[in-house]
Amino acid sequence: MLLVEEADYNLLGRDLIVALGINLIVRNSQIMVSIYKLTREDEDKINPKVWHTGKEVGKLAMEPISIEIERPEDPIRVRQYPIPLEGRRGLKPIIEDLIKKGILEPCMSRHNTPILAIKKGDGNYRLVQDLRAINERTRTRFPVVANPYTLLNRISQEDTWYSVIDLKDAFWTCPLAEGSRDIFALQWEDPDTNRKQQLRWASLPQGFVDSPNLFGQALEQLLSQFSPRKGTKILQYVDDLLVAGETEEGVRECTIDLLNFLGEKGLKVAKQKLQFTESGVKYLGH
């Protein structure tokens, strides 16, 4: 391995690695190697803006979502739990990044529900908001999320090739209506200045009871504009997509078409989790 600080890529033989479909992930000073079937030739056919890079979040061009709660005249207020200094320091870059991307925004709201700093196995932190009080008072819409077993029954014996597409930060692609954002307010205390402020979600938050259903409906409407290639079909379960078909070439071309379609519509895909044109894949735990 050749390390050059000024270089964009610090890996000798990168062109060959990409051409062979080799994926290197550095985690905790260890290098993990995985090989996937997405070749350089395939990548050249895919618009790179579909890939999640961490620099931006996908955005769907859709009508902002309105949320209805019971007894809207009564604010939903749950006191913030004490968060250790280490946890707040772990959350600070996450909070700042979400504000920069427009997912969180400053506010002054009657509502407030607490956040937690969850330490992950790699030592980093995850931001979690306890939305149970909001979930209990939400007027949920009629659920249309498909039953996984019913969904998988659509796969026929002739379908022997598959691709699985994992949409990244899918809920955040759906904008919240201005009148619904204050409901999801939270309190943030900066670990360096001890300044407290309220923030609110501008997009559909994770942990909200209706988020899977609302995003699933939005994606279903979007996919109605896409026509799979002959001999292929697309299965959708919330933000997980399966392309199934009779031939390797048909599934490959349909997957490329679908990736380009998703990118044009403002969605992002986790490239490392892409299962591309394989005879066996893992989907919905199967």
In the predicted structure, residue 28 carries a pLDDT above the cut 90: no
Measuring CA to CA, which residue among 256, 125, 112, 275 is closest to residue 188?
A: 112
- Tell me which of 93 and 12 has the higher pLDDT: 93
What is residue 92's predicted lDDT score, i.e. its pLDDT?
98
DSSP label at residue 140: P
In the predicted structure, residue 54 carries a pLDDT above the cut 60: yes
Four-residue CA torsion sign, 242, 246, 248, 254: negative
What is residue 6's predicted lDDT score, i.e. its pLDDT?
47
The percentage of the chain sitting over the pLDDT mark of 70, rounded to a whole number, equals: 85
pLDDT-based confidence at 1, cuts 50/70/90? very low
Q: Under a CB-based contact definition with an 8 Å cutoff, are residues 135 and 208 in contact?
A: yes
What is residue 150's predicted lDDT score, i.e. its pLDDT?
81
In the predicted structure, residue 144 carries a pLDDT above the cut 90: no
The least confident of 43-47, 141-145, 222-226, 258-262 is 141-145
What is residue 257's predicted lDDT score, i.e. its pLDDT?
98
Instruction: State the CATH class of domain 85-142+176-208.
Output: alpha beta
What is residue 41's predicted lDDT score, i.e. its pLDDT?
92
Q: What per-residue string of b and e applies to 24-45 under the rule 16 or more CB within 10 Å gives b?
A: eeeeeeeeeeeebebeeebbee
Any idea where the domains of the chain sit in the sequence?
A: 1-35, 85-142+176-208
What is residue 2's predicted lDDT score, i.e. its pLDDT?
46
Q: Whole-number mean pLDDT of the chain?
A: 89
What is residue 10's predicted lDDT score, i.e. its pLDDT?
52
DSSP label at residue 25: E
At 52 the three-state DSSP class reads coil
Per-residue pLDDT, averaged over 72-79, amounts to 96
Rounded to 5 degrees, φ, ψ at 152 are -70, -20
What is residue 7's predicted lDDT score, i.e. its pLDDT?
47
Q: What is the pTM of this model?
A: 0.82
The least confident of 19-23, 64-68, 116-120 is 19-23
